[in-house]
Structure 1
Amino acid sequence: MHDAAHGVTLDEIYHARARIKGQVSRTPLWHSRALSERFAAEVYLKLENLQPTGAFKLRGVTNMIAALIERHGHDALAKGVTTASTGNHGRAVAYAASRLGVPAVICLSTLVPANKVAAIEALGATVTRIGQSQDDAFEEARRLVKEEGMTLIPPFDDPLIASGQGTIGLELLEDQPDLDRVILGLSGGGLLGGTGAALKAIRPQLNVTGVSLSAGAAMFESLTAGHPVAVEEVESLGDSLGGGIGLDNRCTFALVRDVMDDHFQVSESAIANAMIDMLEQEKMLVEGAAVVGLAALEEHQIDIKGQKVALVLSGNGVSLETLDQARQLAKR
């Protein structure tokens, strides 16, 4: 499991936890009575939507920036930081940069919703809108690194990023040591890969379940092909799960391949139903990407009877406009 090809080990995840302590929230694991009754299981919700930036991404970003300063000093970031993002990662980079007083340029495709753009700009970062996909936005970020000397903080494909996200796995098993299954959204693979690495190292028998969108599922398509492939990015209620994994992926492809046990794809209507369920039943307004675990349980009738299951609610970056779209699409 601790494949040198991806560089994410339990030791690295513990190092990440030490680096991010005090800067990132240790989020609650909330027992859902309604979902437990519905699925005849013990269902828990890992509330990453309660992070200061509203999503889990702050873990990986904080770990990477702290590690860079640890290794090279503050001068390493003197010319600023940049990244490409579907929204939540960009917000995390902007937040961390603002706290350090370094400039940040966040490159976003035109598919990123306006509310996520506004949240990034509110933190003082410069936003550049470019292209129709995260891959297009990444080209601009790479140009800024090459020509302006900025430091790239990748959204997922780096051992420091994935190890930061892996701290979720440590917290899950501290709060519920005998979990049977953890269900997570799958996009670039930082969240599932890092968290899965921690979970599998500590509790190998635990089932790690990934959930992707029904279209544009880059990591799943790549795993099926046996190598990274490009997919067309599409608009979705689960927009945070859009984007490619990079044809030169060096970390998360191998990591997800090692730690994921099974995988499901979910439709837009299933995501819509789950978003409305989460609001009505749990009184939580979360984004589409955060509810794909619940969407998969419903749409695919996954049998979790009698199990202890955790769903990772990855973020809260949803606008009222998107919520309205979900409400109209939900089968009520």
Structure 2
Amino acid sequence: MTEPAHGVTLEGIYRARHRLAGQAVRTPLVRSAALSARFEADIRLKLETCQPTGAFKLRGATNMIAALIERHGRDALAAGVTTASTGNHGRAVAYAAARLGVPAVICLSSLVPANKVAAIEALGAEVKRVGESQDEAFAEVERLVRDQGMTLIPPFDDPLIAAGQGTIGLELMEDAPDLDRVIVGLSGGGLLGGIGAAVKAIRPACRITGVSLSQGAAMWESLQAGRPVAVAEVESLADSLGGGIGLANRCTFELVRAVMDDHYQVSQTAIARAMVDILDHEKLLVEGAAAVGLAALAEHGIDVRGETLALILSGNGVALETLDRARTIAGR
């Protein structure tokens, strides 16, 4: 069988699961009685908040580093791995590298708060403070790759990253083989694409529903244009859904195009209300990007009556002041 252009296969996702054994957590899939009653459906919550780093990103980072060691030997990564990220991906790379015995350098701008720097350093990575923007930090990553032989671990646009995230799809199919729909936040496409690749290979009838921000939805705008396009980033409670997909995107654009069935965009108010609802009714602290599935159900009145569906609660990286802001926006 010819490998798809995006490079993500069910076999690759099963290999990723083997690599993740003992490194990342098989997270719970729990039924929400409150949401099931509210939407007249059987609604399950996939708790990626239970990962050691608090988010799904650990799966992809671990798979890529482990696969590179497997293919090329540990010496090939002797110079270390690197990335630029202020949030979940940076923490994931730091954690995975430490667990797998590989040096890691995470590049951050001077604007990143000291508590985030300390959290990454606590995981064993070296932090380089460079410039006053994420772009300047990434320029340092490129220099480390070019001049010091370090290996870039990208946040989403690589088949190994997407396959790692796709292990969530395997778990969904094993724990709820009758799923009718999976609702996933859509940003760079690694999470939705990986989950979709696994689920569609096992249960083609299951719908993959993507959810983006109402503004700054780079992947959705790119799909509409038929090619990767640049979109201005906007401030949002779901900040990890912002950012571009890369004009030279080589994996996730085609992957999302292949597996996503439908798509919704959600407002700040809907995200805020969903974050507060999940905390108040489920007693789960989630970041804005993890709440967009519920936001879409509520804001767009999606008819899921009688369906069995899963919402991906992708991470818990939210500051208490952000939660307070969400309560204010939600009017609660």
Taking structure 2 as the reference length, the TM-score comes to 0.95
Contact 2:107 2:129 (8 Å CA) reproduced: yes
Does the residue aligned with 2:120 lie in a helix, a strand or coil? helix
* Contact 2:23-2:99 at 8 Å conserved across structures: no
Structure 2 counterpart of 1:330: 330
Whether 1:39 aligns to 2:46 is no
Match of 1:297 in 2: 297
Q: For residues 319 and 299 of structure 2, what CA distance do their matches in structure 1 show?
A: 24
Distance in 2, matches of 1:193 and 1:288, equals 20
Question: Would the aligned equivalents of 1:135 and 1:244 in 2 still touch at CA under 8 Å?
Answer: no
Could you tell me how far apart the structure 1 residues matched to 2:109 and 2:249 are? 20
Q: Normalising by structure 1, report the TM-score.
A: 0.95
Quick check: 1:181 aligned with 2:181?
Answer: yes
Give the drift of 1:135.
5.2
Q: Distance in 2 between the 1:3 and 1:110 partners?
A: 42
- Does the aligned pair in 2 maintain the 1:29–1:46 contact within 8 Å? yes
Corresponding residue SS for 1:75: helix
Please tell me the residue identity of whatever aligns with 1:323.
L
In the alignment, is the contact (CA less than 8 A) between 2:272 and 2:329 conserved in 1?
A: yes
Question: What does residue 233 of structure 1 align with?
Answer: 233
The CA deviation string for residues 52-88 of structure 1, in whole angstroms up to 9 with x for no partner, is 1100111111111111001111111111110123510
Q: Secondary structure at the match of 2:38?
A: helix
For the 8 Å contact 1:104–1:126, the answer to whether it is kept is yes
Match of 1:48 in 2: 48
CA distance in 2, matches of 1:88, 1:111: 17
Give the corresponding residue for 2:282: 282
Residue 303 of structure 1 aligns to a residue whose secondary structure is coil
* 2:161 alignment partner in structure 1: 161
Find the counterpart in structure 2 of residue 218 from structure 1.
Answer: 218
Distance of 1:204 and 1:109 partners within structure 2: 43
Counterpart position of 2:22 = 22
1:87–1:112: 8 Å Cα contact kept in structure 2? no
- What CA distance in whole angstroms lies between the structure 1 residues aligned with 2:30 and 2:145? 41
Instruction: Specify the SS of the correspondent of 1:211.
Output: strand
Letter paired with 1:176: A
Please give the secondary structure, in 2, of the residue aligned with 1:195.
helix
Q: Which residue of 2 aligns with 1:147?
A: 147
Where 1:312 maps in the other structure, the secondary structure is strand
1:209 match: secondary structure: strand
In the alignment, the residues of structure 2 paired with residue 168 and residue 49 of structure 1 have an alpha-carbon distance, to the nearest angstrom, of 13
Distance 1:294 1:10 in 2: 28
Aligned pair 1:7/2:11, yes or no? Answer: no
Distance change in 2, residues 1:211/1:68 (3 Å): same
Report if the CA contact (8 A) 1:87-1:108 is conserved: no
Measure the CA separation in 2 of the matches of 1:111 and 1:297.
Answer: 35
Instruction: Map 1:21-100 onto structure 2 (within 5 A).
Output: 21-100=21-100
Secondary structure of the residue aligned to 1:89 is: helix
The CA deviation at 1:3 is 5.5
User: Post-superposition shift, 1:147?
Assistant: 1.5
| C-alpha deviation, 1:103, in angstroms | 2.6
Measured against aligned partners, the alpha-carbon deviations of 1:245-296 in whole angstroms (never above 9, x if no partner) come to 1111000000000000111111111111111101100000111111100011
| TM-align CA RMSD | 1.9
CA distance in 2, matches of 1:211, 1:165: 17
Tell me, in whole angstroms, the C-alpha distance in 1 between the residues paired with 2:179 and 2:139: 40
> 1:179–1:283: structure 2 CA closer, same or farther, 3 Å change rule?
same
CA 1:329–1:110: 2 relative to 1, 3 Å: farther
Q: Distance in 2 between matches of 1:187 and 1:131?
A: 25
Q: Tell me by how many angstroms 1:122 deviates.
A: 2.3
Take 2:133 and 2:181, find their aligned partners in 1: how far apart are those partners? 32
Deviation of 1:325 (Å)? 1.0
Q: CA deviation at 1:304?
A: 0.5
Q: How many residues align?
A: 332
Judge conservation of contact 2:54–2:315 (CA < 8 Å) in 1.
Answer: yes
Identity %: 76
Moved more, 180-189 or 230-239: 230-239
One-letter code aligned to 1:205: A
